[in-house]
Structure 1
Amino acid sequence: MWSLLLTALVLCHCSEAVRLFHLGRPRGGMLGGPGGDPITTDIKEHWYKQRLDHFNPSDTRIWHQRFFVNKSYYKAGGPVFVMIGGEGEAKPDWMFQGAWIDYAKRHSALCVLLEHRYYGKSHPTPDLSVKNLAYLSSEQALADLAKFIDHMRRRFELRPTARCIVFGGSYPGSLAAWLRAKYPHLVHAAVSTSGPLIAKPDFKEYYGVVQDDLQNQDPMCVQAVGNATQQINLLLNHRLGQQTVTKLFRLCQPVDSNNSQDVASLFETLASNFAGVVQYNKDNRQFEGAKGTNITIDVVCNVMTNSNIGPPVNRLAAVNSLLLDAYDQKCLDYKYDKMVADLRNVSWDSETAEGGRQWMYQTCTEFGFFQTSSLPPHLFGDNFPVDFFYQQCIDVFGKRFNSTFVQQATKNTNILYGGFNLQMNRILFVQGSVDPWHALGITQTLREDSPAIYINGTAHCANMYPAAPSDPPQLVNARQQVESYITKWLGR
């Protein structure tokens, strides 16, 4: 459903059973932890005194924003590398792992990671009420980064010639590009990975890419998924069929075909099974859960094409059970009203405060990014169109967050940042062909001084994770290209 995301949401982190984080996978498309060898080094938290509202001089309220620092590779005169936090808790393991650390070692860089406001432990307000969420926006987050970068230069007494390069994956990938464009005097260059640059309510292309990825794996896999979707529709027309669906898919509560929102939620949840697998296919996905990281496109397609399991609907149920078991879920929680009730909780102690409520607010007020069933041939059915998501914005945040509001909000975002017409040099755009989010990103070079790297066969943020012996040659080459651009831009 969600985030950059994010992701971020991504961003993305946790394995609660609430509907928003289906099976522990945030709906944004976030960057998780690096997932390499466990870090034994004690990583100290730091706190920066930040303004609540950067755009209202009369508002003097402040709060404390969390960040991490790694000075072990830094040498006087070296650059500053800033990793941008996204729609989830900042992972301190990134301070010692990942491709950016390899680049930092080569260039003697100071490494810092700033957690995004309203995520992780960075709590600007007493709770997550709609009134307080008014200060959650990408524009405020970019101002946070600008103030923070300026502070870091003074705190570590960096030379005026020390150049700053920012890194981000998923929603932070978008932020990296926008930060370079809006604050070029502070940011010398940006590496934007898997970042969506177009705000769009009806992100129907998302499941188009998912279908293409399944098709590329095995055309029979796509056919089986489509047949299974049709069989579920037929079963839902009868009481006995509804009971069969409830049992087959291990639903926490019986399905009632008269409840259109529950039906839409069920289909969207089953579709997200495949979306999550595709989005992180064969990437370093340890942040999702130890038993689920080896579930890839070929695994689910092997299930869907295995006639020994039974008809297609049984195979689809087998995929669902595979994921439920991988994330230690006894049943599939799909009820719409429960999701809404969870997301209405404004307490920082709630499970949705780990990123769910915040990222949904950003999608309703800035980005859209709603992964709908609108694109023919409706592989996963046509039960969750964009109106389904508009209603969620209303039900969770209030009547004024309607379709007109969301449509205007996404238009404003594209005006603010420029979409694909981003006019700034020294931004490197990296996308993977398997990642559905590449449909909203720059995949080919539009201007020579801001090149694009399109990695065939890789998924979300693949180039950011630690190198592994199993990495395909094109991924190895992409990391080398990123390194060469960094070297060029640092003048080394």
Structure 2
Amino acid sequence: MESPAVSFLLFLLITTVLLPYLSSSEPSNVFPANKHPRFLGKHSHPIKPKYQQQYRYETRYFSQQLDHFSFSDDVPRFRQRYLINNEYWAGPSRLAPIFLYCGNEGDIEWFAVNTGFLWEIAPRFGAMVLFPEHRFYGESMPYGSREEAYKNATTLSYLTAEQALADFAVFITELKRNLSAEGCPVVLFGGSYGGMLAAWMRLKYPHIAIGALASSAPILQFEDIVPPETFYNIVSNSFKRESNSCFDTIKHSWNALTSAAQREDGLRQLSKTFHLCRELKSVQDLSDWLDSAYSYLGMVNYPYPTNFLMPLPGHPIREVCRKIDNSPDGSSIVDRIFNGISVYYNYTGDVDCFELDDDPHGMDGWNWQACTEMVMPMSSDRDTSMFPAYDFDYSAYQEECRRDYQVTPRPRWITTEFGGHDIEHVLKFFGSNIIFSNGLLDPWSGGGVLKNISETIVALVAEEGAHHTDLRPSTTEDPDWLVEQRATEIKLIEGWLDSYRQKIKATFNM
């Protein structure tokens, strides 16, 4: 979110995730940076992308209640889009499973085409595949249109994780009833904010889903559970491990950009240097754009070429640093930064100029979520981060949310509703059948569950993994650790299903 994220998303989130409202601990010549990236790409012509349908599915719609927690007779309904494939499903008689991906903060087709793991294992399990879309994203707009849905705080008040989980619960319950498949077990999947939803749904609706694979799910990124500087330290370390000089160039670039902007005609020259479609109004806008790219690069630092957020080469941070370090002799810091950042924003070379505020994947709703319940405090450490040093300023954050949406954030609501504090103790005694997978290159891993909690709540941690790498389509370039991790996930899911069927069989034989 240009004011924050995640998908996510995070949330991203899913995103990921959040509006950035920070107080500077640097001298005044260092401008504040947008500290909460969201999933989006920046192109010269913002248009809704057409997602290549590499997997077979039908697009359908489910009539969903806008407010699941009201008993009024006149509660509006809306059409929730979902994608379905049942060609591999073995059916109710065999208690065949239903694999449900918890849609997060964006167009559901975007997540479907980037979640190859689920599609690839469905035939092995004889599973139905479902991708229900998150309310207020993609085509699942209440009130008939995005304009009406996003009109004000009253209409947006129904955009919450709690309502989204209720959507999934009602949807799958009704679908199973219509198919006479009440006995078929449901396994949840999700990445980033979708991973958070998968874990929370398993805890909140254990009678509906028997287990959840929550990939890159930062469920601990709230209040003071993890240090607020964790996210930006991980991003910075990913650059430093590739090149100390690259890290230093980026760290010194913020002051260099500020100095350049203060020169006569400085903003116009910066706009020209960075090939922007419109002249900069402030150096802050350029700072946000760069900050977002570095953060996204940290998330999608995959070992092979991908096209998730943007078309990128394998090991994209390595390529960015190569461009920065190998710039021609005499290149200024500003020129070096442009050379490096072009790997993210224009690796294909097809973009003539850059817009700083487009949102091709339809994730703008995360700004609202970040201003209400998804409050993830973040800061940047002066010594360990390549970003300008900042402390999270809740007062400024709150003021921005009141200005933009006329609402006051509730920073403790998520942990009140879903937990987070003392997570090891709580889940050990009250949870089961959750896989938390994280890659330590992913900056969101700092807010994830990184160690086993019990025999059935398992943490799979990959030192070289990026943002939900395990959910991505398999390739011939997959490293051994990734192949092994997916094999472990399959084995755990098989165990959940075997245990479920044994209990059902024992019940009927009584």
Report the TM-score when normalising by structure 2: 0.79
The runs of 5 or more residues in structure 1 that have no matched partner are 13-18, 26-31, 257-261, 340-350
| 1:63 corresponds to | 78
Q: CA 1:119 to 1:249, structure 2 compared with 1: closer, same or farther past 3 Å? A: same
Q: CA 1:149 to 1:159, structure 2 compared with 1: closer, same or farther past 3 Å? A: closer
Aligned CA-pair RMSD: 3.1
d(CA) in 2 for partners of 1:307, 1:371:
32
Letter paired with 1:39? Q
Q: CA deviation at 1:300?
A: 0.3
Q: CA deviation at 1:486?
A: 0.4
| 2:31 corresponds to | none
Q: CA deviation at 1:243?
A: 5.0
Partner SS for 2:460: strand
Partner SS for 1:186: coil
| 2:418 corresponds to | 417
Letter paired with 1:109? A
**Aligned counterpart in structure 1 of residue 301 of structure 2, from 270, 281, 291:** 281
Partner SS for 1:303: helix
| Residue 44 of structure 1 pairs with residue 52 of structure 2 | no
Letter paired with 2:202? R
Partner SS for 2:371: helix
| 2:334 corresponds to | 313
Q: CA deviation at 1:174?
A: 0.2
**Aligned counterpart in structure 2 of residue 355 of structure 1, from 352, 355, 362:** 362
| Residue 172 of structure 1 pairs with residue 187 of structure 2 | no
**Aligned counterpart in structure 1 of residue 387 of structure 2, from 374, 380, 401:** 380
d(CA) in 1 for partners of 2:353, 2:381:
28
Q: CA deviation at 1:268?
A: 2.4
Which stretch shows the higher mean deviation, 433-442 or 363-372?
A: 363-372
CA contact (8 A) 1:8 1:88 kept: no
Q: CA deviation digits over 1:342-382, x for unaligned, max 9?
A: xxxxxxxxx76963431110111111236554664452224
| 1:191 corresponds to | 213
Q: CA deviation at 1:445?
A: 1.3
Q: CA deviation digits over 1:408-441, x for unaligned, max 9?
A: x121111111115252111110011111111111
Which stretch shows the higher mean deviation, 142-151 or 174-183?
A: 142-151
| Residue 365 of structure 1 pairs with residue 368 of structure 2 | no
Q: CA deviation digits over 1:132-165, x for unaligned, max 9?
A: 11001000011111111211221221152x2111
d(CA) in 1 for partners of 2:88, 2:114:
10
Which stretch shows the higher mean deviation, 168-177 or 279-288?
A: 279-288
Q: CA 1:375 to 1:44, structure 2 compared with 1: closer, same or farther past 3 Å? A: farther
| 1:182 corresponds to | 204
| 2:401 corresponds to | 393
Figure out how many residues of one structure are paired with residues of the other and give that number: 448
Q: CA deviation digits over 1:49-88, x for unaligned, max 9?
A: 2111011112532222111221111113211111111111
**Aligned counterpart in structure 2 of residue 432 of structure 1, from 439, 443, 447:** 439
Q: CA 1:210 to 1:92, structure 2 compared with 1: closer, same or farther past 3 Å? A: closer
| Residue 149 of structure 1 pairs with residue 157 of structure 2 | no
d(CA) in 2 for partners of 1:320, 1:93:
25
**Aligned counterpart in structure 1 of residue 248 of structure 2, from 211, 223, 242:** 223
d(CA) in 2 for partners of 1:284, 1:362:
31
The runs of 5 or more residues in structure 2 that have no matched partner are 16-36, 44-48, 500-510
Q: CA deviation at 1:245?
A: 3.1
d(CA) in 2 for partners of 1:250, 1:191:
42
Which stretch shows the higher mean deviation, 89-98 or 313-322?
A: 89-98
d(CA) in 1 for partners of 2:142, 2:440:
37
Q: CA 1:199 to 1:134, structure 2 compared with 1: closer, same or farther past 3 Å? A: farther
Q: CA deviation digits over 1:170-225, x for unaligned, max 9?
A: 10100000000001011100100011103537953221110011112222221221
CA contact (8 A) 1:169 1:194 kept: yes
CA contact (8 A) 1:87 1:119 kept: yes
CA contact (8 A) 2:220 2:449 kept: no
Query: What's the % identity of the aligned pairs?
Result: 26
